[in-house]
Amino acid sequence: MAAQIIDGKAVSAKVKEEIRQEIERDKLEIGLAVVIVGDDPASRVYVNNKKKACEVCGIKSYEYALPAETTEAQLMELIDTLNDDDKVNGILVQLPLPKHLNEEAVIARISPLKDVDAFSASNVGKIMIGNYAFLPCTPAGCIELIHSTGIDVSGKECVVIGRSNIVGKPMAMLLLHENGTVTVCHSRTKNLAEVCRRADILVAAVGRPGFVTGDMVKPGAVVIDVGINRNADGKLCGDCVFDECAKKASWITPVPGGVGPMTIAMLMKNTVMAKRIQTAK
């Protein structure tokens, strides 16, 4: 049995097209500000991809590229200006920031109504209680990919490997909101392979190439690989040994072309939601 591939490019194209139609239909004017500090090459790729997605959807993008030596006070001043700018509906500060800047303080400065990454403490709290407007883009994209398979999360055993604030923890909450029975695993988990083999839905978000092997996958499981790593040959790969896991799973996301495109599509969705909330206020 070979797994069916969950095509993130196709699902994200569909989401972006729906957003484009909604913006056109309702004649919405929406702006997303992206702030990048320094010249991290991976960050530059992400920012360029976000700009392209804005173009496709009909969202105006404003880029603020600041030098690596920007002070925290200068960055905070820019965020304050963007918070007060009605043309800007969403604000995204591309992480990681240079070491001398406090990421937590910077994220806390973004207005919760414009925090389209859903990283601020108040938006994270809302996800916990299930009363949220924005979802973190990567976990929201994973949920959308699971939905695209037609599989119902309700009552399923779900295992999330990784407990980061950006993916692992919110992913667990979203699966819980859909009535999954959720186990979160991490570096201290005992009998990890055994726990993973119970999963009807397995989400790998550890950031270690080839961490999940075929013997950790329950036959027929849905495998969502969030990892984006480079292997010894410098090729992009996920956290799963794809060929091994694909032999056991019923559905699996590839890397690249799985979760990655979805993250940006969900960012576009959050930006439209931000506009709606701000207009209703």
Out of 94, 114, 218, 225, the active site residue is 94
Cβ of 186: how many Cβ atoms within 10 Å?
13
Both 230 and 155 in one domain: the answer is: yes
Both 143 and 249 in one domain: the answer is: yes
Q: Which residues contact 194 (CB under 8 A, 6 or more apart)?
A: none
Annotate the chain with three-state secondary structure.
CCCEECCHHHHHHHHHHHHHHHHHHCCCCCEEEEEEECCCHHHHHHHHHHHHHHHHHCCEEEEEEECCCCCHHHHHHHHHHHHCCCCCCEEEECCCCCCCCCHHHHHHHCCCCCECCCCCHHHHHHHHHCCCCCCCHHHHHHHHHHHHCCCCCCCCEEEEECCCCCCHHHHHHHHHHCCCEEEEECCCCCCHHHHHCCCCEEEECCCCCCCECHHHCCCCCEEEECCCEECCCCCEECCECHHHHHHHCCEECCCCCCHHHHHHHHHHHHHHHHHHHHHHC
Token pair of 62 as six digits: 């404003």
Residue 204 covered by a domain: yes
Both 241 and 148 in one domain: the answer is: yes
Residue 154 covered by a domain: yes
pLDDT tens per residue across all 281 residues of the chain: 689 999 999 999 999 999 999 999 999 999 999 999 999 998 999 999 999 999 999 999 999 999 999 999 999 999 999 999 999 999 999 999 999 999 999 999 999 999 999 999 999 999 999 999 999 999 999 999 999 999 999 999 999 999 999 999 999 999 999 999 999 999 899 999 999 999 999 999 999 999 999 999 999 999 999 999 988 888 899 999 999 999 999 999 999 999 999 999 999 999 999 999 999 97
Out of 114, 115, 117, 169, the active site residue is 117
Q: Give per-residue burial for 211-240: e unless 16+ CB within 10 Å, then b.
A: bbeeebbbeebbbbbbbbbeeeeeeebbbb
CA-to-CA separations, 27 to 23, 50, 53, 189, in angstroms, rounded? 6, 21, 18, 50
pTM of the predicted protein model: 0.94
Residue 129 covered by a domain: no
Residue 207 covered by a domain: yes
Both 48 and 163 in one domain: the answer is: no
Distance of CA 115 to the CA centre of its chain: 14
Both 151 and 103 in one domain: the answer is: no
Both 155 and 226 in one domain: the answer is: yes
Q: Cα(241)–Cα(227) distance, rounded to whole angstroms?
A: 11
Count of the separate structural domains present in the chain: 2
Domain CATH code at residue 153: 3.40.50.720
Both 103 and 161 in one domain: the answer is: no
Both 149 and 98 in one domain: the answer is: no
Among 253, 252, 249, smallest CA distance to 1 is for: 249
Predicted pLDDT at 234:
86
Q: Which residues contact 149 (CB under 8 A, 6 or more apart)?
A: 4, 6, 222, 251
Both 249 and 174 in one domain: the answer is: yes
Both 152 and 103 in one domain: the answer is: no
Predicted pLDDT at 281:
73
Both 199 and 249 in one domain: the answer is: yes
Domain CATH code at residue 105: 3.40.50.10860
Both 96 and 175 in one domain: the answer is: no
Predicted pLDDT at 42:
87
Distance of CA 163 to the CA centre of its chain: 14
Residue 120 covered by a domain: no
Active site residue 50: yes
Residue 105 covered by a domain: yes
Preceding peptide of 136 cis, ω within 30°: no
Residue 1 covered by a domain: no
Predicted pLDDT at 1:
67
CA-to-CA separations, 233 to 63, 70, 230, 238, 245, in angstroms, rounded? 33, 35, 8, 14, 20
Residue 233 covered by a domain: yes
Q: Which residues contact 93 (CB under 8 A, 6 or more apart)?
A: 35, 37, 75, 79, 106, 107, 110
Owning domain of residue 234: 136-260
The domain boundary, picked from 66, 96, 112, lies at 112
